[in-house]
Amino acid sequence: MKNTILILLITALLTSYSYAFKGIVILIADGDTITVVHNGKPKKIRLYGIDTPESKQAFGNQTKNFTYAMVYRKSVNVEPVTTDRYGRTVGIVHVNEKCLNSELISKGFAWVYDRYCKKDMCDKWKKLEEVAKQSKAGLWSKDNPVEPWMYRRKGKKWKI
């Protein structure tokens, strides 16, 4: 029984790890979207569980610059979570033992995107977001920052 449980545990760990991949970041589209070269092919990665300001929003450029400084031309580990409607891999990105997703939150450059953030780590990320708010880090230095999903919704022209 013990051996069976141990084998199942090891298999689960190896299986989850085998889906992760390494690559070099070659493009930063915005704060939460990067392109990684993996197996000689570019692969767009949308960061899981977060949303960063759009380029025309307050802190949009600072967020993109932060992401650039953290990962551009660096080797990253990508842990895929899903694929979005645009065909991008949605994942968690690690560089030099730091999680880009959580770094963006803790520095005040991202919101936890509650609508899509469903993993256990999202609770930890919500706590990081609260600390960033309390310390007025990044976008939290502004009164009432507008969530990117609300900003995008306002920018759409509705047809009746």
Asked about 103 being catalytic, the answer comes back as no
Asked about 46 being catalytic, the answer comes back as yes
Q: Which of 54, 79, 85, 147 is catalytic?
A: 54
Q: Of 114, 117, 106, 94, which Cα lies nearest the Cα of 139?
A: 106
Q: Which of 73, 85, 88, 130 is catalytic?
A: 88
| Gyration radius of the chain over CA positions | 17
Q: Of 32, 13, 23, 38, which Cα lies nearest the Cα of 77?
A: 23
Give the C-alpha separation, 123 to 8, whole Å.
Answer: 27
Q: Which residues are marked as active site?
A: 46, 54, 88
